[in-house]
Structure 1
């Protein structure tokens, strides 16, 4: 009896089975990788900025911002004929007297503002004559609401007079209504110019890993409160173009970071409402040639030569070197 001969197809079949198994494994790996890519949030595709890359400024509201005044209401100066001497009530209870020396008590909140020093990027911008390369100045920033609002609480003192104390409170979210103005010293002011093309180019360059909003888009967002266990940060960018290339010293004013304001009485009796704003100081030691190569520096430069230092301070209209300050404007 002849020994059994293995079928000729045995080895090819085994080879095919191993190849099929390996191919199936590779296919499954590709499917899993594709699925992971689909569910991975966009923020992981960016980069994590080093802690010292951003300049962080704490919220600028203070306890004193909860009280405004005392001021006379506008009708006091406009209607002196309302003065009269009552017989049955105190004169202080008349409309004219009640309109004098009025104090307003309000809740105030503020946002944390972090930013990278102003930069420039060259972008193909649409114009009436077609696309044209322009230098775009921009400020990339991040805002967070960390709570710590101030709320005035009325209380009675031992003589039953109403006095106010402050209480630190927080809400779930606030709005940020940003306004950015670049003030080139000795040249002029520039309001922010929105550009979807520039914003896309800046987002591709900075790669913060989160959506970047312009000032209009930012107004639509609810800036949710950030806690140690639940951080909410919102990234935005302010852009300018068609700026004078000879700018050496400039500031960027940021409005909307707090609802704090101040009311001042003008000589004619009208009221002047001033919003608390953040002012950032920058210098650009360069010229109109190769603008993109010039580094923009944050803060007023410190110079050993007192004559030159005074010249720089005079350009900004300040008496001492600053990086930023909060002003009512």
Structure 2
């Protein structure tokens, strides 16, 4: 049995030379005496020491080798957490489209607003009393009253924005489970994407905390952020919208097809992952996939609305009935093809260009744009 140098050193540590020699000598004497008593003239008795040495030495080496192997396995298991690394697939230039974060300083505040709901709920703060002529204070200006200050409120907040990258949107036929437990083969539209946190969050800054007058915007960064996505595919031909649907049976197939060697998240479990801050252009980021089913196979012009990349929002008006609009990344796509063999059709990123101004204006109207843009940020 052949052992390398490290194994031989380990054998010497486990079985010292003197102890191993003593065990071999005792075993040889015992076997030789037994053989002579049974057959004194036997050649086996005369050379029994040789067979005994080989037999005992072989078993000792085997036992020692197993001990060394088990010990090496334990050491490897103990250090596996430190030695293992995660290697991701490096794609060729142009395969992954990167959309840089676009935070806007104007998104850090709203106002001035009139908090009419508070004024209506507390009429006692008004100056409509007979003690003050023209309902104004005696010495201070009217703008210093609480009622007037509630009409000029500026709400400030901190905003962040994540970097979004994606591979070309593709189609695949998969078996989708139905409510009755059976499987149904359907055409699935999917988009594999990556998110990274670059830092650079924006927030209003006060030069003097005792006099909170916000005259500048400062940039801050944190160790990590989380991503709570919602992907909506909007068909510009029919006006229908399709929300991303979670398909556990599709994750492995898509990961193999798109050569994603790391874990691929859906739109729910990706929110449990902390996205670390990084400035490295080769940082792996966190990968996810959005899937849509029951989309018209004759789809030509459509967009994907990506919500959750930023916490910026707008409110139309005031009160409970005033709707909130979230900032979304709008990705425009078009697919020249038909319903025959849709998986072989290539989905192109951006708005197609036409030489005819009339056709171009008609197409831009479908996308809701005034000019050709591959992507844009919008409040929806």
The answer to whether TM tops 0.5 is yes
Q: What's 2:101 paired with?
A: 59
Name the structure 2 match of 1:279: 330
Residue segments in structure 1 that go unaligned for 5+ positions in a row? 1-12, 14-23
3-state DSSP of counterpart to 2:316: strand
Establish whether residue 308 from structure 1 lines up as the match of residue 350 from structure 2: no
By how many angstroms is 1:117 displaced? Answer: 2.1
Alpha carbons of 1:91 and 1:216: their partners in 2 closer, same or farther (altered >3 Å)?
same
* Residues 107-150 of structure 1, C-alpha deviations (whole Å, 9 max, x = no match): 11110000012111111112236222211101110000011111
Q: Of the two structures, which has the highest relative contact order with CA contacts closer than 8 Å and spacing of 6 or more?
A: 1
Deviations 1:70-101 (A, max 9, x none): 22224168569556335466543444322213
Deviations 1:274-319 (A, max 9, x none): 2111000000111122211221110001122323222221221212
Q: For the structure 1 residues 107 and 42, does the alpha-carbon distance in structure 2 shift closer, same or farther, using more than 3 Å as the test?
A: same
Aligned-residue CA RMSD (Å): 3.4
Q: Could you say which structure has the higher helix fraction?
A: 2
Distance 1:230 1:83, change over 3 A: farther
Question: Which residue does the alignment assign to 1:226?
Answer: 278
Q: Which runs of 5+ in 2 are unaligned?
A: 1-53, 55-64, 129-134
Structure possessing the higher radius of gyration over alpha carbons? 2
Matched residues, number: 301
Q: For 2:165 and 2:99, how far apart are their aligned partners in 1? A: 6
1:245 aligns with 2:289: no
Higher strand share: 1
Q: How far apart are the structure 2 equivalents of 1:269 and 1:103?
A: 18
**What SS does the corresponding residue of 1:215 show, helix, strand or coil?**
coil
Kindly indicate whether the alpha-carbon contact (under 8 Å) linking 2:206 and 2:212 is maintained by their aligned counterparts in 1.
no
1:132 to 175, 179, 184: 184
CA distance in 1, matches of 2:227, 2:359: 39
Shift, 1:209, TM fit: 1.6
Distance 1:200 1:161 in 2: 53
Q: 1:134 to 1:256 in 2, by over 3 A?
A: same
Does 1:70 pair with 2:121? no
For residue 144 of structure 1, what is the aligned residue in structure 2?
Answer: 196
- TM-score, scaled to structure 2: 0.70
2:202 & 2:301 partners in 1: Cα distance? 35
| TM-score calculated relative to the size of structure 1 | 0.80
Q: Does the Cα contact within 8 Å between 1:76 and 1:96 map onto a contact in 2?
A: no
Distance in structure 1 (CA, Å) of the matches to 2:85 and 2:177:
28
